[in-house]
Amino acid sequence: MRRHRSPDLRAWLSIHDVMPETLDRVASLIAHSRAQGWAPATLLVVPGKPWKGAALAQLRRWHDEGHALAAHGWLHRALHVRGLRHRVHSALISRDAAEHLALDRASIGRLMQASHDWFGEHGLPLPTLYVPPAWALGDMDRASLRALPFRHIEVTSGIIHTESGRLEAQPLIGFEADQRWRAHALQTWNRAQITLARRTGRTLRVGIHPHDPELALSAALERVLAQPPGREPTGAAAHYQAPPVH
């Protein structure tokens, strides 16, 4: 069957919450997206989980196959709720995932540094991209980010270049909807973000979570995967997107 492509879109694919307990689902998403014609994905690895030999070996294989590895928090779980902002964010978006929002600036910096260092300690390539869980960076300023070893930080509104502190706006779509109202909200958000990408020519970020194919927006996810982008990403995405496999 001839696959339809979206020639007017630039896009890159990231798979979130790569943990020992999600590897089978991640493998399925990788296989399916590659079969649909997508370039290798960026895999968002949660270092603080109980990684062992076989799971680490799988990360190395995926990297060798062309997938980029990025750091994604430490535990991907906030141990407590800190303040009104975190409470609202937790209720509407992140539940207990936004671990940065429970921490002060110094603690966030230590978490991000530990997340980066974990890769080298386990024989994996050091990541240049950091994605805070739920895209919630928390109380971090430009100077604090510049002192860390990451070149790019991904947040909801786009990509922060740590050297300059500049935010590169990039549309973002997602599919993690485990309740009806979340599904309606995400559908509205996704439509607006895709329209923005088409009108501006900006790279569209497609964020997938391991359980998305089982949730309310599975059909919408499938429609997006069935239309791989016809053009290569530009801007920051071109720097940390995995190279094509030949």
- DSSP letter string, 153-172: EEETTEEEETTT--EEE--E
Q: How many CA atoms lie within 13 A of 225 on its CB side?
A: 25
- Interatomic CA distance for residues 102 and 188, integer angstroms: 29
> Alpha carbon of 194 to those of 67, 106, 147: distances in Å?
24, 36, 34
Measured from the Cβ of residue 66, the count of other Cβ atoms closer than 10 Å reads 16
Residues pairing with 43 in the sheet: 15, 69
Are 86 and 102 in contact, with CB atoms under 8 Å apart? yes
Distance CA 171, CA 182 (A): 19
Q: Each residue's pLDDT tens digit in the chain (246 positions)?
A: 345 566 578 999 999 999 999 999 999 999 999 999 999 999 999 999 999 999 999 999 999 999 999 999 999 765 655 554 644 444 445 455 678 888 999 999 999 999 999 999 999 999 999 999 989 898 899 999 999 999 999 999 999 999 999 999 999 999 988 888 788 989 999 999 999 999 999 999 999 999 999 999 999 999 999 999 976 665 555 555 543 332
Cβ-based neighbour number of residue 110 at 10 Å: 12
Give the relative orientation of helices 53-64 and 23-35 as an angle to the nearest 10 degrees: 20
